A and B are shown apart, each in its own frame.
Chain A
Amino acid sequence: MTKQEFLERLRAGLSGLPEADIEEQIRFYSEMIDDRMEDGLTEEESVKQTGDPDQIAQKIINETPISRLVKEKVRNRQPLGALAIILLVLGFPLWFPLVITIFSVLFSIFVTIFAILFSLWVTDFAMALSSPGLFVGAIVYFAHANVTQGFLSLSASFVMAGLSILMFFACKALTKFTIRLLKSSAYGIRRLILGKEN
Chain B
Amino acid sequence: MDIQLKRGLLDVCVLAAIKDEDSYGYKIIKDLGPYIQLSESTLYTILKRLESAGMLTVRSAEHDGRLRKYYHITDSGLARIEDFKEDWKEIMTVYSFVTKEEGND
In the bound complex, CA of A27 to CA of B41 (Å): 13
Q: Are B41 and A31 in contact (CB under 8 A)?
A: no
**Is B25 touching A35 in the complex (CB atoms < 8 A)?**
yes
A63 to B41, CA, bound (A): 10
CB contact list, A32-63 vs B, under 8 A: 32, 34-36, 38-39, 50-51, 56, 59-60, 63
Known: A36-B26, A38-B64, A63-B45. A31 touches B69 (CB 8 A): yes
CA distance A89 to B56 in the complex (A): 49
Q: Which residues of A contact B27 (CB under 8 A)?
A: 35
A29–B40 contact, CB under 8 A?
yes
How distant is the Cα of A63 from the Cα of B40 in the complex, in angstroms? 13
A187: Cβ under 8 A from any B Cβ: no
When chains A and B are docked, how far (Å) is the Cα of A28 from the Cα of B60? 11
Number of interface residues of A (CB under 8 A): 17
What is the minimal beta-carbon distance from B67 to any residue of chain A, in angstroms?
8
- Interface residues in B28-84 by Cβ distance below 8 A to A read 30, 39-41, 44-45, 64, 66-69
A11 CA to B30 CA, complexed, in Å: 25
**Chain B residue contacts of A155, Cβ below 8 A:** none
A39 to B64: give the CA distance in the assembly, Å: 13
- Name the distance in Å between A166's Cβ and chain B's nearest Cβ: 40
Give which listed residue, B30, B39, B40, B66, contacts A28 with CB less than 8 A: B40
Please indicate the chain A residues that have their CB under 8 angstroms from the CB of B40 in the complex: 28-29, 32, 50-51, 56
Chain B's nearest CB lies how many Å from the CB of A163?
44
Contact of B44 among A28, A35, A38, A51 (CB under 8 A): A28
Is there an interface contact between B26 and A32, defined as CB atoms closer than 8 Å? yes
When each residue 58-80 of chain A gets 1 if its CB lies under 8 Å from chain B and 0 otherwise, what string results? 01100100000000000000000
Closest to B47 in A: A28
A130 near B: Cβ within 8 Å? no
Chain B residues with Cβ below 8 Å from A25 are 44
Tell me if B26 and A51 are in contact (CB < 8 A). no
Closest to B26 in A: A35
The A-contacting residues of B in range 90-105, CB under 8 angstroms, are: none
Kindly identify which residue among B25, B39, B45 contacts A31, using a CB–CB cutoff of 8 Å.
Answer: B25
Interface residues of chain A, those whose CB is within 8 Å of chain B, are 25, 27-29, 31-32, 34-36, 38-39, 50-51, 56, 59-60, 63
- Report 25 cross-chain contacts, Cβ distance below 8 Å, ordered by A residue: A25-B44, A27-B67, A27-B69, A28-B25, A28-B40, A28-B44, A28-B69, A29-B40, A31-B24, A31-B25, A31-B67, A31-B68, A31-B69, A32-B25, A35-B24, A35-B25, A35-B26, A38-B64, A50-B40, A51-B39, A51-B40, A56-B40, A56-B41, A60-B41, A63-B41
